[in-house]
């Protein structure tokens, strides 16, 4: 088959007609897509395909690996350590093998907050691109927010304003807008579940004092953007990605259909009572989320206090689904982002 077209610029893909090879797969002409989301906590590979008659593209495989790229970040430095680089490189080598077997026609790989903030960004990027065998674009926080908004809202049926939040490993995105339109407010804050855990719970202990300090820090970081939402109205509050999905699984295990502020406070109190990250036991909580649960909860508590919402629904879409949407349909264009 022809060599895959690698999308090297997320902004450019929204302003050009994407030239995808129509390759014969299993007797049919298909276009195959691969989106790689290199987050600060987890890396994701999303593979999809679409024939001329398919809309939307059919997701055929998802691969997720916990990498914790921002694990060594603290209040003094934003350095990606050698162990994190090794975990990331090994993950990307596995992704490369999966891509070679899948043979996508279009590939888009992006890195987010940990790589944006890293003081050794150039060195790490070189190693990760070598491991993946593809170019990787480090996207800005506002671009990340815009793509998350598209991934979350693309299948919503209503046109009323929604507030979308994504608590990542090293950043939190908060977006307000109408589905199928440009977001009206896009913000990204250097605040995430991994960095909160590293800064306030590095020894694993969970105390009321540490939780209060972490929530206070979250509110301080969010204060710069809170005014953007003070007089806004929205129909639904949606949470995307790991922290919210973990909480949704915990809530479902308790027969709760929604996440609300009182329940978030209850979970935080139970974390304090259990006293240590390694002792955390909740129905529905996967072991791979245990280490960053309290960090994510303190960010969410800060968001609730700063923005004044009470209930949150959890979206199945996130950044990687937004990347796939861009690959499949470069219009509507992303807004001009600074």
What is the pLDDT, as a whole number, of residue 75? 85
Supply the DSSP symbol for 131.
H
Q: Does residue 7 sit in helix, strand or coil?
A: strand
Tell me the two tokens of residue 242. Answer: 């790991």
Strand duo 259-260 + 236-240: pairing: unpaired
pLDDT, residue 329, reads: 80
Q: What is the pLDDT of residue 10?
A: 56
Cβ atoms < 10 Å from Cβ of 274: 15
Statement: residue 37 has pLDDT above 50 = yes
Length of the chain as a residue count: 338
316 pLDDT above the threshold of 60? yes
Strands 42-51 and 58-66: antiparallel
Same fold, 5-141 and 157-314: yes
Alpha helix segments (H runs only) across the chain: 10-13, 82-102, 113-117, 121-132, 141-153, 193-200, 208-226, 242-253, 261-274, 290-307, 319-328
DSSP state of 222: H
Which pLDDT score, from 0 to 100, does residue 19 have?
A: 39
pLDDT for residue 3:
55
Residue range 157-314 forms a domain whose CATH class is alpha beta
The whole-number pLDDT of residue 257 equals 82
* Model confidence pLDDT, tens digit, residues 68-84: 999 999 888 999 999 99
Q: Is pLDDT at 26 greater than 60 in this prediction?
A: no
Report residue 158's pLDDT band, with 50, 70 and 90 as the boundaries. Answer: confident
Please report, for the chain, the start and end positions of each structural domain, with discontinuous segments joined by +. 5-141, 157-314
Burial of residue 11 (number of CB atoms within 10 Å: 0-12, 13-18, 19+): middle
**Average pLDDT score, the chain:** 90
- Whether residue 8 is predicted with pLDDT greater than 90 in this model: the reply is no
d(CA 105, CA 136): 16
- Residue 331 burial (C-beta neighbours within 10 Å; 0-12, 13-18, 19+): exposed
Query: Burial code of 90-121, b = ≥16 C-beta within 10 A, e = fewer?
Result: ebbebbeeebeebebbbbbbbbbbbbbbbeeb
Which tokens sit at 308?
A: 């004044």
The structure's pTM equals 0.90
pLDDT of the residue at 107: 95
Bond from prior residue into 89 cis (ω within 30 degrees of 0): no
What per-residue confidence (pLDDT) applies to 216? 99
Helix (H, G, I), strand (E, B) or coil at 242: helix
**Is domain 5-141 given the CATH code 3.30.420.40 in the classification?**
yes
From 24, 45, 172, select the one nearest 107 (Cα to Cα): 45
- The pLDDT value recorded for residue 13 is 44
Q: Distance between CA atoms of 103 and 306, rounded to whole angstroms?
A: 45
């Amino acid at each position: 088959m022809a060599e895959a077209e690698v999308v090297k610029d997320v902004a450019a893909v929204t302003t050009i007609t994407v030239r995808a090879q129509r390759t014969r797969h299993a007797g049919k002409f298909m276009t195959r897509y691969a989106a790689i989301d290199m987050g600060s906590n987890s890396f994701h590979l999303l593979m999809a395909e679409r024939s001329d008659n398919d809309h939307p593209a059919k997701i055929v495989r998802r691969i997720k690996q916990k990498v914790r790229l921002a694990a060594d970040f603290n209040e003094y430095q934003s350095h990606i350590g050698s162990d994190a680089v090794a975990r990331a490189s090994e993950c990307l080598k596995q992704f490369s093998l999966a891509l070679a077997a899948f043979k996508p026609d279009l590939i888009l790989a992006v890195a987010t907050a940990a790589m944006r903030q890293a003081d050794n960004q150039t060195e790490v990027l070189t190693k990760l691109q070598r491991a993946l065998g593809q170019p990787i674009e480090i996207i800005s926080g506002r671009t990340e927010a815009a793509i998350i908004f598209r991934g979350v809202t693309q299948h919503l049926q209503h046109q009323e304003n929604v507030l979308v939040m994504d608590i990542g490993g090293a950043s939190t995105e908060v977006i307000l807008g109408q589905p199928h339109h440009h977001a009206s407010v896009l913000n990204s804050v250097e605040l995430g579940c991994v960095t909160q855990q590293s800064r306030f719970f590095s020894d694993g202990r969970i105390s009321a004092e540490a939780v209060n300090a972490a929530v206070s820090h979250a509110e301080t970081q969010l204060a710069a953007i809170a005014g953007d939402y003070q007089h806004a109205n929205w129909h639904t509050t949606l949470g995307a990605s790991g922290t919210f999905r973990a909480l949704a699984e915990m809530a479902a295990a308790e027969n709760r259909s929604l996440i609300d502020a009182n329940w978030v406070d209850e979970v935080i109190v139970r974390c304090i009572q259990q006293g240590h990250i390694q002792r955390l036991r909740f129905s529905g909580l996967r072991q791979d989320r245990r280490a960053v649960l309290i960090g994510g909860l303190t960010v969410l508590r800060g968001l609730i206090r700063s923005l004044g919402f009470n209930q949150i629904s959890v979206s199945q879409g996130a950044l990687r689904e937004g990347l796939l949407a861009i690959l499949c349909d470069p219009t509507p264009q992303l807004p001009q982002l600074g």
